Copies of this chain bind each other. A is one copy, B any other.
Amino acid sequence: MSFGFEELSIAQDDTTDEAKQTLNWNEIKTKYDDFHTIDWPRDLARDRMRHKFIKGVRQDSPLGMFYGIWDAGSGWICVLLVGLAAGTVAGIIDISARWMSDLKSGICADRFWLDREHCCWSANDSAYKDNDCSAWTTWPEMLHYYDKNFFYYSLEFLFYVSWGVLMAGTAACLVRTFAPYACGSGIPEIKCILSGFVIRGYLGKWTFIIKSVGLILSSASGLNLGKEGPMVHLGCCIGNILSYLFPKYGHNEAKKREILSASAAAGVSVAFGAPIGGVMFSLEEASYYFPLKTMWRSFFCALVAGVILRMVNPFGSDQTSLFHVDYNMKWSFFELVPFAVLGIFGGMIGSFFIWANVKWCLFRKSNKFLGQNPIREVLIVAAITGAIQYMNPYTRKSSSALIKQLFDRCGPEDYMEDLCDYRNKTFTADKIDDNYHTGQMGFGVQTAFWQLIMALFMKLFLTIVTFGTKIPSGLFVPSLAMGSIAGRLLGIQVESFVSTLQSSGSSSWNCQIGKDCVMPGLYAMVGAAAVLGGVTRMTVSLVVIMFELTGSLEFIVPTMAGVMFAKWVGDAICKEGIYDAHIEMNGYPFLDNKGEYPYSTTAFEVMRAGTDQAPLKVITNGKMTVGDLESQLRESSFSGFPVVEKDDMVIGFCTRRDLESALRAARKNHTNVTTQSMVYFTPHSVDEEVPGSSAGPISLRLRKVMDMAPLTVTEQTPMETVIDMFRKLGLRQVLVTRDGRLLGIITKKDVLSFMREGSEL
């Protein structure tokens, strides 16, 4: 209007035509602070603008066209790379962990770099059973003690325990020294990150390296932990690292989540050899924003990872499934009753596990002896674990070997095993004939029965104290192990019951035990699924994973029955799975998009409103100077402020970050912007009176950093609708208005604390 007035527009996320020419999209990154939540609508809008920009470029030149195609394909290339890397890494970890785990008991005398199974294979020792052969030398044998006397076993015990303690201690030291985020399973944090939470370094390269090495060490230590959960974390690390090769994903947190969702699927895929299960896991448990395009890419990623892992072939077998079952029998409908019992047991033990583990974690935090020195805790747990587990033949072996054994049927070749020592068996030479698995418990089965009960309690206790220590540790495999023990126990009982019925002449059971009815291995499988379901509260994904894990479609109904009852019983006892419990324990701002919240509160009752003493922190258009704004930014810690006109009429919303950078830029680039400069957020129009236009300091226009369309709700809006908007649109805050006037503000934090209070009522 007059000389003294100069309009300064600071463009941040600008897409006007003139900006198109100069904008280099790679440079525009919205950085979020650590432990902050990303702004989904804004990040996605940014991506749409980028897309539009590329479309514009595409029409201009052939190079632009090539760029456009590259851009469209980069998502696929990225997930392809993630799949390749995840498969390779998983293969290396599997092989190394296996070798180091076998070192606990001995070494391959001729070829030290082989694990026990390959050692025996290469030695061509065909008579070996259960992977034991002469080429494999136990540690006492290395020291030339061959008599299996007390001293021999003491020596073996010593090696067993100290190797475990050494491995676990090294893992703990590595984690503590180099990457504190590498501990635990990582799934609770992945869930939060996928829902939009930012934890710097959690998916970084150091975490990745240390977690890989630590995972090998910790699974070799013989502790009660699995490497499946950490594998998901590793997958996401790979996704995060590789996404930086593609600025479209690396520099847009919302888009990056698409890659991370696919990576999580790949992680499950390589952990269990279950690509479809991986996608279902990512959909059901991990992901938050999961458009169908992402699902298809996740499937691709999971499949590539699975194929690569199969090519690496870490287990030396061509089996696609980890715990392949080779029996093919029909279960009878009556058996759904014991399966349901297993489900109920799974729900109960799962809930107990969650409760005890959370209590233990809280105790650890408050306890000086354990909390301040996590390495000490790991050493103690490793020592106790080693000492206890050595005593029991079923816990001495690795959890996955135990699961494999318990899932298996008793074939004629297993006559030496306790678990298959039934009565009334008929021998033929040193083999036994088909009528072997009689169902009547022999002395061996009875011994095994009590040993398994002991093993179950030991595993339960040890897993509770292990999950949450500062080494990489998952709980899929320990849960499966507990469940398979419980299932096998019940299976043996049901088998013996039916066998008694049959021998008493009941005709309703005209099937042959061990052939086509009451297979204890099937009970173990159902029990495994039930306990894992009780602990994690997964449903569809768990059934699909179990199906892919065992490769048997026939048993999908029993598995489902078990999982269903586990879920019902578990939810009745405590509502949250272990991951959600840990999320709540750690206070992460995770807005569950699954539950339903039947409240009848309105937005008005929840919103944070201003009082006379502490008015709501807002920016009043044309009434505040640069100095006012700067002091408001200093004095408050809100991440954004509503912009209002006089009469509290809302005109927009301005984030702290944008405001800060705009003010900084204005101060730097325009020396005549002073503390007294008035700040305007409205466009310069004729009918508007600009005060101080002629003489005073120039005024600053910040219209472009303001979001002119903040989402608003009226005070009467029910909270269900508000929560729905937060969940489905990924909001950070919503403004509550009455007749266009600002009444208050509801942030994600308010919603979370409201939901927490509500669930406690």
Contacts and interface: CB of A to CB of B under 8 A. Distances in A.
A291 interface: yes
B539 A296 contact: yes
Interface residues of A, number: 68
A718 B51 CA distance: 15
A711 interface: yes
A41 B711 CA distance: 17
A303 interface: yes
Contacts of A551: 553
Nearest to A647: B739
Interface stretch (A1-9, A215-223, A358-366, A722-730): A722-730
Interface stretch (A135-143, A405-413, A556-564): A556-564
Contacts of A600: 15, 48-49, 52
Query: Most chain-B CB neighbours within 10 Å: which of A293, A540, A543?
Result: A540
Interface in A545-602: 547-548, 551, 553-554, 556-557, 560, 564, 567, 594, 596, 598, 600, 602
Nearest to A567: B296
A556 B275 contact: yes
A320 B15 contact: no
A299 B543 contact: yes
A712 interface: yes
Interface string A437-469: 000000000000000000000000000000000
Interface in A18-52: 41, 44-45, 48-49, 51-52
Contacts of A44: 720
Given A320-B553, A600-B52, A560 B299 contact: yes
B720 A709 contact: no
Contact of A560 (B300, B717, B728, B740): B300
Contact of A51 (B594, B598, B651, B715): B598
A252 to B, nearest CB: 14
A553 to B, nearest CB: 6
Contact of A709 (B547, B716, B739, B740): B716
Contacts of A279: 540
B291 A540 contact: no
A193 interface: no
Interface in A29-88: 41, 44-45, 48-49, 51-52, 55
A105 interface: no
A709 B721 contact: yes
Interface string A699-713: 000000000111111
A41 B728 CA distance: 13
Contacts of A547: 276
A279 B540 CA distance: 10
Contact of A556 (B45, B296, B303, B718): B303
In this complex, which of A299, A724, A741 has the most chain B Cβ atoms within 10 angstroms of its Cβ? A299
A484 interface: no
A540 B295 contact: yes
B48 A720 contact: yes
A331 to B, nearest CB: 11
A414 interface: no
A13 interface: no
A276 B557 CA distance: 12
B540 A299 contact: yes
Contacts of A300: 560, 564
A307 interface: yes
A320 B547 CA distance: 14
Interface string A376-415: 0000000000000000000000000000000000000000
Nearest to A295: B540
A44 to B, nearest CB: 8
A15 to B, nearest CB: 7
A292 interface: yes
B716 A45 contact: no
Contacts of A291: 594, 596
A123 interface: no
A284 interface: yes
B712 A708 contact: no
Given A300-B564, A712-B712, A740 B649 contact: yes
A650 B737 CA distance: 11
B729 A594 contact: no
B718 A45 contact: yes
A714 interface: yes
Contacts of A739: 645, 649-651, 740
Contacts of A717: 709
A501 B725 CA distance: 62
A724 B41 contact: yes
22 contacts: A41-B724, A49-B600, A55-B598, A276-B276, A276-B544, A276-B547, A284-B292, A284-B295, A292-B594, A295-B539, A296-B539, A299-B540, A551-B553, A603-B709, A645-B739, A651-B739, A708-B714, A709-B713, A709-B714, A709-B721, A724-B729, A725-B725
